[in-house]
């Protein structure tokens, strides 16, 4: 990800990691998986109805069409009630959709970033026929004109705007280059209007004479999307500060924006219907809302948790809090009531929140690791600001241990200890693992889960780093989140088996606590092999909490006795 910030970017493409042999000694007997008696889990937090809402378009039926990128669906919403009327998913050929546009014949075009077979433009015709055309990466904006012409924008290394055959039969034609063009719209003058994101500009050009590009507005703060109403008025999404985005009306004569409404979270989609109603989507919390003419907001579909990853229960003077890493945000919930206590959503700004996969306490701060951005971040939740940012290739988990940051990497296949005062000073604790992912520790012991080898390994015992990691258990299927229970057991999310298990650290016996957890497991090529992280933790009061990203919930249940 570029440091400007993250959610749009989604630019880091990961190499799939080859399965390699563990350096640890095998044991002669594989622990038998048993069922452990446990109460049925209850839903502690239920997420938003719409998740990772990146693309937004108005259909011929005047309904809202929303692309939910990593959830791999295009949802059709009633703009009045927010009811989900229909879902288009992989069974209809939709896969990792980004921006959306409708042709005059009712065809839905979607940029697939990145699809399982690479970036592409997909066309879903009114009769249900699906066609597609591969494109160089990274595709983002898609646009159609009133007369049916089709345009798309390619970002970063292929930075250009192209025109495509609406039937996706002939190769694309390059029009304009060098701008990191984020979104495209046809103006009332027949010109194509686009945002040069990094430059803070809106420009326009004649698609039949693209050599002449005219600047419409400059000096804008992180403009991201734009749309015209039926009167030719231009509306944009732009940044306000490091925690706020806005919907603004842009004066085409002066190039000056007039802010209509501000929202705390990252805004993505912008669409205007046949009645000139303005709709916006937020990728951070999945909210879909209408911006009214007086600047007020009418909620169409409520926001909330979108992609629950790691959890950590932390005691406070006034009670326990559960902290959640939630794709583009962290959330703090009161464990007694389930109410949201605090949160932070990422924005486009430098120094703001990275996309957290995992979350852990680090003194009075939070320690976040992002496999997408390949970063470790220390965040002050009181001052709401970044304390430290470390670029760490291949990082997928980080916790605090013995005053240092301990991190795993699927790229270097090791576990390292990082001095936060001198992040360049890193000590390898364990090397030559297949795919280190899960981490758990107490005062003197450190454990790692090897996702591909299916093993739980002890790296540090009684504050001494072992010459070779000790094999605790094997035969697990894709261990991810881990947590010590304090009574000689280890909770493990087995994503490959879609269950929550518990491991006896002395015998290596594995027992099942939740047999059908609900874990996303289809891996796009731009995600690491563990796809998304699912975490687990135990509270001081003896309740365990575990995330399930497929149903978009956090479960809790009492820890069963040993």
Q: Are residues 265 and 325 in the same domain?
A: no
Give the end of a domain, one of 286, 301, 316.
301
- What's CA 544's distance to the chain center, in Å? 24
Say if 202 falls within a structural domain. Answer: yes
The pLDDT value given to residue 383 = 93
Contacts 24+ apart (CB under 8 A), 10-13: 10/69, 10/113, 10/372, 10/526, 11/138, 11/155, 11/156, 12/372, 12/373, 12/374, 12/526, 13/114, 13/137, 13/525, 13/526
Asked whether residue 504 carries a pLDDT value surpassing 80, the answer given is yes
- Do residues 274 and 411 both lie within one domain? no
Kindly report, residue by residue over 273-329, the tens digit of the pLDDT: 999 999 999 988 999 999 998 899 999 999 999 999 999 999 988 889 999 999 889
Q: Is residue 17 part of a domain?
A: no
Query: Which CATH number covers residue 410?
Result: 2.120.10.30
The residue segments making up the domain with residue 59 are: 53-301
Residue where a domain stops, chosen among 231, 266, 301: 301
pLDDT digits (tens, 9 = 90+) for 154-190: 887 778 999 999 999 999 999 988 877 889 999 999 9
526 and 386 both lie in a single domain: yes
How many CA atoms are closer than 13 Å to the CA of 503, on its beta-carbon side?
A: 32
528 with 486, same domain: the answer is yes
Pair 389, 474 in one domain: yes
509-519 average pLDDT score: 95
Q: How many domains does the chain have?
A: 2
Same domain, 417 and 493: yes
Query: Domain check: are 280 and 211 in the same one?
Result: yes
Q: Are residues 148 and 285 in the same domain?
A: yes
Q: Are residues 239 and 379 in the same domain?
A: no
Are residue 286 and residue 382 in the same domain, yes or no? no
Q: Is the pLDDT of residue 262 over 50?
A: yes
What's the Cα-to-Cα distance from 398 to each of 260, 361, 367, 404, rounded to whole Å?
Answer: 40, 10, 7, 10
**Overall residue count recorded for the chain in this entry:** 562
Same domain flag for 254 and 347: no
* pLDDT per residue as tens digits for the range 362-395: 999 999 999 988 999 999 999 999 999 999 999 9
Given a contact cutoff of 8 angstroms between Cβ atoms, the answer to whether 440 and 482 are in contact is yes
Asked if 110 and 97 touch (Cβ cutoff 8 Å), the reply is: yes
Tokens 């995600």 map to which residue?
527
Examine residue 551 and state whether it is found in any structural domain, yes or no: yes
CATH number at residue 143: 2.130.10.10
């Amino acid at each position: 990800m570029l440091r400007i910030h993250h959610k749009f970017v989604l630019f880091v493409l990961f190499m799939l990691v080859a399965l390699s042999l563990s350096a640890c000694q095998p044991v002669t007997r594989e622990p038998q998986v048993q069922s452990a008696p446990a109460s049925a889990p209850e839903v502690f937090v239920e997420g938003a109805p719409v998740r990772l809402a990146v693309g937004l378009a108005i259909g011929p039926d005047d309904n809202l069409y929303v692309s939910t990128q990593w959830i791999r669906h295009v949802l059709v919403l009633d703009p009045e009630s927010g009811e989900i009327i229909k879902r288009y998913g992989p069974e209809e050929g939709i896969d990792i959709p980004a921006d959306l546009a409708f042709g005059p014949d009712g065809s839905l075009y979607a940029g697939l970033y990145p699809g399982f077979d690479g970036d592409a433009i997909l066309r879903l015709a009114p009769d249900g026929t699906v066609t597609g055309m591969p494109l160089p990466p990274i595709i983002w904006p898609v646009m159609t004109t009133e007369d049916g012409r089709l345009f798309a924008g390619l970002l970063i290394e292929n930075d250009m705007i192209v025109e495509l055959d609406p039937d996706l039969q002939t190769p694309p034609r390059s029009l304009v280059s060098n701008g990191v063009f984020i979104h495209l719209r046809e103006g009332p003058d027949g010109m194509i209007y686009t945002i040069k994101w990094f430059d803070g500009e809106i420009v326009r050009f004649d698609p039949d004479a693209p050599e002449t590009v005219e600047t419409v507005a400059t000096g804008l703060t992180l403009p991201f999307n734009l749309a015209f109403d039926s009167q030719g008025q231009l509306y944009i999404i732009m940044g306000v500060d490091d925690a706020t985005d806005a919907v603004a009306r842009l004066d085409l004569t002066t190039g000056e924006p007039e802010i209509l409404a501000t929202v705390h979270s990252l805004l993505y989609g912008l669409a205007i219907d046949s009645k000139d109603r303005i709709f916006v989507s937020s990728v951070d919390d999945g909210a879909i809302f209408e911006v009214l003419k007086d600047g007020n907001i009418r909620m169409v579909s409520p926001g909330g948790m979108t992609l629950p990853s790691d959890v950590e229960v932390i005691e406070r003077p006034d009670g326990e809090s559960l902290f959640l890493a939630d794709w583009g945000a962290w959330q703090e919930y009161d464990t007694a009531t389930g109410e949201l206590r605090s949160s932070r959503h990422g924005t486009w700004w430098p120094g703001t929140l990275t996309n957290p996969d995992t979350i852990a306490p680090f003194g009075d701060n939070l320690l976040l690791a992002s496999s997408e951005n390949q970063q470790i971040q220390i965040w002050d939740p009181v001052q709401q600001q970044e304390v430290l940012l470390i670029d760490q290739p291949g990082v997928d988990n980080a916790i605090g241990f013995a005053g240092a940051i301990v991190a795993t990497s699927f790229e270097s296949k090791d576990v390292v200890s990082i001095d936060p005062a001198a992040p360049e000073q890193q000590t390898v604790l364990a090397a030559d693992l297949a795919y280190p992912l899960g981490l758990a520790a107490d005062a003197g012991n450190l454990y790692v889960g090897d996702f591909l080898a299916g093993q739980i390994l002890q790296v540090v015992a009684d504050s001494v780093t072992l010459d070779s990691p000790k094999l605790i258990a094997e035969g697990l299927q894709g261990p991810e989140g881990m947590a010590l229970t304090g009574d000689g057991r280890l909770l493990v999310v087995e994503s490959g088996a879609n269950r929550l298990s518990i491991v006896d650290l002395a015998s290596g016996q594995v027992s099942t606590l939740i047999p059908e957890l609900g874990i996303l497991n289809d891996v796009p090529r731009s995600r690491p092999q563990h796809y998304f992280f699912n975490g687990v933790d135990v509270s001081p009061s003896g309740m365990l909490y575990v995330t399930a990203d497929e149903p978009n919930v956090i479960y809790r249940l009492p820890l069963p006795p040993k």
